[in-house]
């Protein structure tokens, strides 16, 4: 493990305590380190897709190098392996590293560093954080979310995967999860389980850390319309966990869930303006696409490009405004994040369809050709179209974002609920009686 007292990113003050160096000096040092230690990214953005677990070795090595040099978790607490520096140091490093190749763990990088670790920092015990956060920063642990179930997606508090504590103190996990992005190459999953069936559904939930390779865990990949198989379903058969694996408090998992959803919907990152989409000219991807099909001078195609450009501008302005509001008033972040999420859910399908309209009737059948970059760019547009509904579902559907905005921002009346105050066991018994389906042990 790295010795955090030797971090090159810090100075020793006169009183023996470590002081953050002046920002300009830090930035100059980071620039020099980056030039010496990182490779230039080739092209505008290297396309990297995690295929099989072996692909990760190079990314993990790169992450470890950043960690060893003190450039991973720059604004995360020092006691958990971070640098404890203010957020602007993190931003400064990221700006200096633009154009260089940084570790890319695909979708699991987002869940590990953007959602799970931040949730752990907010809710897990100090011992849990000491055990896992340094390993996450070093690239040794990648995490996914075991959240959704076949019968609990939008109604997330309705999960039925169950953890029961046996007399020896071991938790026994049984049930199944679905739609877990990238679980097939993750090391751990954050799993939401029911630990109390005799209280209303939001009150009997607990989060657990589940090793992906633990005995009793089965992970299967699901083929998607794009041809990828990034999603997984998991089955838990008598998986043994301990109190050390609990994240947050037993039966108080809904509080942890609120934090997790905030990060998942971009409420955490939106405060950071360096993450926002920078101005990119006039829809350059669509300009290239129109050129590749010989329609750059076609007024109809140009009209579609301008529509995309106007939407791009409006979306950037919306995200910038949301970021400013959240920074000014962090208490609003949880509900305002729904606007940003909804903008992706509404806008992604429109943007992807514009590309297909430029391409014409053959576009949706475009295929990759390694020898032909234009064909590959076209195929990516077709794949983006097939996958363009992702953001209207993932992390809460468009309808659920609208519900949140209606209730929490606009102050409209809450959706009527028949099960909010009933013990969850009774909710399921009622549902079985209404549908005429009996037979479960619960
Ligand atoms: C790209 C992608 C990545 C994902 N990654 C993960 C992951 O890593 N881990 C994970 O656990 N899950 C993941 N999911 C699952 C995702 O969170 C769920 O699919 C989502 O919450 C919707 O749940 P559902 O599919 O069960 O749909 P349902 O909840 O069954 O909804 C069906 C329809 O009913 C509507 N609806 C439901 N309730 C209401 C209501 N109260 N008011 C109005 N309309 C309503 C919905 O909007 C939707 O149109 C992912 C999904 C996608 C698409």
126-164: per-residue pLDDT in tens? 999 999 999 999 999 999 999 999 999 999 999 999 999
For 125, phi then psi, to 5°, come to: -70, 155
User: In terms of DSSP bridges, do strands 188-194 and 143-146 run parallel, antiparallel, or are they unpaired?
Assistant: parallel
Atom of ligand 1 nearest to the CA of 182: 8
C-alpha 179 to ligand 1 mean position (Å): 9
Give the closest residue to 216 by CA, choosing from 273, 169, 292, 163. Answer: 163
Domains of the chain: 1-6+33-104 (no CATH), 145-254 (2.40.110.10), 265-409 (1.20.140.10)
Atom of ligand 1 nearest to the CA of 152: 26
pLDDT of the residue at 97: 96
Task: Please identify every stretch of the chain with a pLDDT value under 70, giving residue numbers as ranges.
Answer: 1-18, 43-54, 268-280, 437-442
Q: Whose CA is nearest to atom 27 of ligand 1?
A: 153
CA–CA separation, 159 and 235 (whole Å): 14
pTM of the model: 0.89
pLDDT of the residue at 2: 53
Q: Whose CA is nearest to atom 7 of ligand 1?
A: 180
Residue 201 DSSP label: G
pLDDT of the residue at 52: 62
C-alpha 231 to ligand 1 mean position (Å): 13
pLDDT of the residue at 438: 55
Atom of ligand 1 nearest to the CA of 392: 53
C-alpha 257 to ligand 1 mean position (Å): 15
C-alpha 55 to ligand 1 mean position (Å): 30
Task: From 116, 179, 186, give the residue whose CB has the most ligand 1 atoms within 8 Å, as the site to mutate.
Answer: 179
Atom of ligand 1 nearest to the CA of 415: 41
Residues 6+ apart with CB under 8 A from 182: 50, 106, 107, 108, 111, 144, 230, 232
C-alpha 155 to ligand 1 mean position (Å): 8
CA–CA separation, 135 and 142 (whole Å): 9
Ligand 1 site, CB within 6 A: 144-148, 153-154, 177, 179-181, 390, 393-397, 399-400, 403, 415
Catalytic residue of the set 96, 230, 264, 383:
264
Residue indicated by tokens 């570790």: 103
C-alpha 165 to ligand 1 mean position (Å): 29
Q: Whose CA is nearest to atom 30 of ligand 1?
A: 153
The number of beta carbons lying within 10 Å of the beta carbon of residue 269 is 18
For the question of residue 52 being annotated catalytic, the response is no
pLDDT of the residue at 9: 52
> Which residues face 110 on adjacent strands?
none
Residue 254 CA, chain-centre distance (Å), reads 18
Digit-coded pLDDT (tens) for 50-88: 556 667 999 999 999 999 999 999 999 999 999 999 999
pLDDT of the residue at 420: 83
CA–CA separation, 32 and 427 (whole Å): 61
Please give the structure tokens belonging to residue 342: 């909804």
pLDDT of the residue at 44: 47
């Amino acid at each position: 493990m790295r010795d955090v007292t030797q971090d090159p990113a810090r100075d020793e003050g006169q009183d023996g305590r470590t002081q953050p160096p002046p920002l300009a000096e830090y930035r100059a040092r980071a620039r020099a380190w980056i030039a010496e230690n990182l490779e230039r990214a080739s092209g505008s953005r290297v396309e990297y897709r995690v295929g099989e677990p072996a692909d990760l070795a190079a990314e993990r090595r790169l992450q470890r190098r950043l960690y060893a040099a003190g450039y991973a978790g720059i604004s995360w607490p020092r006691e958990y392996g971070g640098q404890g520096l203010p957020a602007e140091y993190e931003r400064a490093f990221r700006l200096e590293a633009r154009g260089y190749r940084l570790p890319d763990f695909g979708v699991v990088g987002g869940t590990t560093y953007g959602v799970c670790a931040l949730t752990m920092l907010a809710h897990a015990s100090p011992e849990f954080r000491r055990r896992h956060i340094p390993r996450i920063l070093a690239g040794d642990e990648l995490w996914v979310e075991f959240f959704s179930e076949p019968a609990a997606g939008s109604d997330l508090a309705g999960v039925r995967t169950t953890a029961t504590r046996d007399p020896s103190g071991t938790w026994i996990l049984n049930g199944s999860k679905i739609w877990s992005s990238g679980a097939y190459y993750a090391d751990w999953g954050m799993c939401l389980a029911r630990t109390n069936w005799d209280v209303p559904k939001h009150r009997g939930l607990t989060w657990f850390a589940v090793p992906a390779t633990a005995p009793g865990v089965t992970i299967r990949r699901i083929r998607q319309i794009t041809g990828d198989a990034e999603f997984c379903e998991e089955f838990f058969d008598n998986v043994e966990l301990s109190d050390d694996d609990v994240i947050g408090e037993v039966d108080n998992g809904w509080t942890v869930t609120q934090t997790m959803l905030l990060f998942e919907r971009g409420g955490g990152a939106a405060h950071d303006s360096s993450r926002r989409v920078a101005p990119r000219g006039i829809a350059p991807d669509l300009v290239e696409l129109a050129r590749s099909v010989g329609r750059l001078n076609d007024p109809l195609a140009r009209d579609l490009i301008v529509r995309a450009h106007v939407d791009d501008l409006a979306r950037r302005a919306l995200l910038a405004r949301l970021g400013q509001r959240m920074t000014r008033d962090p208490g609003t972040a949880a509900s305002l994040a729904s606007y940003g999420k909804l903008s992706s859910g509404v806008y992604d399908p429109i943007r992807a369809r514009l590309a297909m309209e430029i391409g014409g009737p053959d576009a949706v059948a475009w295929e990759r050709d390694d020898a032909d970059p234009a064909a590959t760019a076209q195929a990516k547009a077709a794949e983006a179209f097939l996958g363009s509904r992702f953001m209207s579902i993932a992390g809460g559907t468009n309808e659920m974002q609208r519900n949140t905005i209606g209730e929490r921002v606009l102050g409209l009346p809450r959706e009527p609920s028949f099960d909010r105050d009933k013990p969850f066991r009774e909710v399921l018994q009622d549902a079985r009686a209404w549908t005429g389906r009996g037979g479960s042990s619960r």
